[in-house]
């Protein structure tokens, strides 16, 4: 029986006092044996946390005692082991970084489409379907027929939007656009961006891919592959069942069986995607970190694996 409950949630809401929320929120999480990450900014909150069910629910109840977060919604998943090794509460400029001033999801986001209605929308040939996630996420799964912007970070999406032929047809008439992402947060901003640029019919998947995989039966699904998640599960499939992908500790990218069978793969150190871009000194440091983690694991301790190695400068 799975013992750990994972809760993912976000909300765009004005939190001018967000810095003051950090310390008591971290204390609440630690007292309830909850781990994960919570991002706070003036524009709202974004988080994935995990732990004993009663602990996670206690943290959610604590958050909802704030009137501004009273209607906070979350998505749940279960696992046999904790998907996180530590608890962090971070203060940010944005809870999801786009870098475009004046974009307000609370005022300008597109129209929500429920998972059960999503198939009909994206099957319409007149609708341009856009996957707003990073290239490595798209690489392991996406919706049939969706455009892949091939971006390395969400902050690159605005430039792609301004240049994409599918969004700027020769006729000059702006198309209907449907956008999706993992949990819905990136689409709140991406659809707000399009609306600010004059797109009138812009839609996004309510609850994101995760809600779709949770609620739409696999036999009726238009999803292909796995969905990357930013925790130790790495990927999930229909019914939010954890997938078989591994994770490179150096570049944080998902790995399939071929990647892990490659001679360029070294657990905790490198993979075929990053082996050539990390220095030998970085690899040696990662090897020592991996040895420490393996020793701690052998002792039955939940030792943090550590942070990814920085890329060398060109």
Residues with a catalytic annotation lie at 181
Evaluate the CA torsion angle 269, 271, 276, 277 in order and state its sign: negative
* Pair of tokens at residue 75: 């998505």
The CA distance from 266 to 25, in Å, is 37
Count of all residues that appear for the chain in the document: 314
Q: Is 303 exposed, middle or buried (0-12, 13-18, 19+ CB in 10 A)?
A: middle
Both structure tokens of 274:
């990053």
CA angle 289, 295, 299 (to 5 degrees): 140
Helical (H) or strand (E) element with 223:
strand 223-225
Residues 6+ apart with CB under 8 A from 41: 15, 18, 91, 92, 93, 94, 95
Helix axes 53-64, 18-31, angle to 10 degrees: 160
> Cα separation of 18 and 38, whole Å?
12
Answer yes or no: are the C-beta atoms of 194 and 111 closer than 8 Å: no
Query: Which residue in this structure is represented by tokens 């609708």?
Result: 127
Q: How many CB atoms lie within 10 A of CB 167?
A: 18
Query: What residues have CB less than 8 Å from 132, skipping those under 6 apart?
Result: 149, 154, 157, 179, 180, 181, 186, 187, 190
């Amino acid at each position: 029986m799975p013992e750990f409950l994972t809760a993912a949630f976000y909300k765009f809401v004005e939190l001018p006092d967000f810095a003051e929320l950090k310390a008591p929120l971290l204390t609440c999480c630690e007292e309830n044996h909850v781990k994960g990450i919570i991002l706070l900014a003036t524009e709202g909150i974004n988080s994935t946390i995990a732990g004993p069910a009663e602990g996670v629910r206690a943290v959610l109840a604590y958050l909802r005692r704030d009137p501004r977060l009273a209607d906070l919604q979350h998505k749940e998943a279960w696992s046999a082991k904790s998907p996180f090794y530590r608890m962090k509460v971070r203060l940010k400029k944005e809870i999801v970084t786009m870098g475009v001033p004046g974009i307000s999801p609370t005022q300008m986001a597109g129209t929500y489409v429920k998972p059960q209605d999503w198939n009909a929308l994206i099957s319409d040939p007149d609708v341009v379907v856009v996957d707003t996630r990073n290239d490595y996420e798209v690489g392991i799964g996406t919706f049939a027929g969706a455009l892949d912007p091939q971006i390395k970070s969400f902050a690159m999406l605005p430039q792609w939007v301004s240049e994409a032929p599918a969004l700027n047809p020769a006729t000059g008439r702006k198309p209907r656009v449907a956008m999706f992402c993992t949990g819905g947060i990136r689409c709140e901003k991406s659809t707000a961006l399009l609306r600010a640029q004059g797109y009138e019919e812009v839609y996004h998947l309510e609850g994101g891919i995760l809600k779709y995989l949770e609620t739409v039966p696999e036999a009726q699904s238009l999803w292909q592959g796995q969905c990357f998640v930013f925790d130790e599960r790495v990927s999930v499939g229909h019914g939010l069942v954890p997938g078989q992908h591994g994770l490179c500790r150096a570049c944080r990218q998902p790995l399939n069986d071929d990647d892990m069978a490659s001679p360029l793969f070294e657990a905790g150190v490198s993979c075929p995607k990053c082996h050539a871009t990390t220095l030998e000194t970085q690899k040696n440091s990662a090897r020592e970190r991996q040895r420490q983690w393996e020793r701690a694991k052998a002792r039955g301790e939940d030792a943090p694996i550590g942070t990814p190695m920085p890329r060398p400068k060109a």
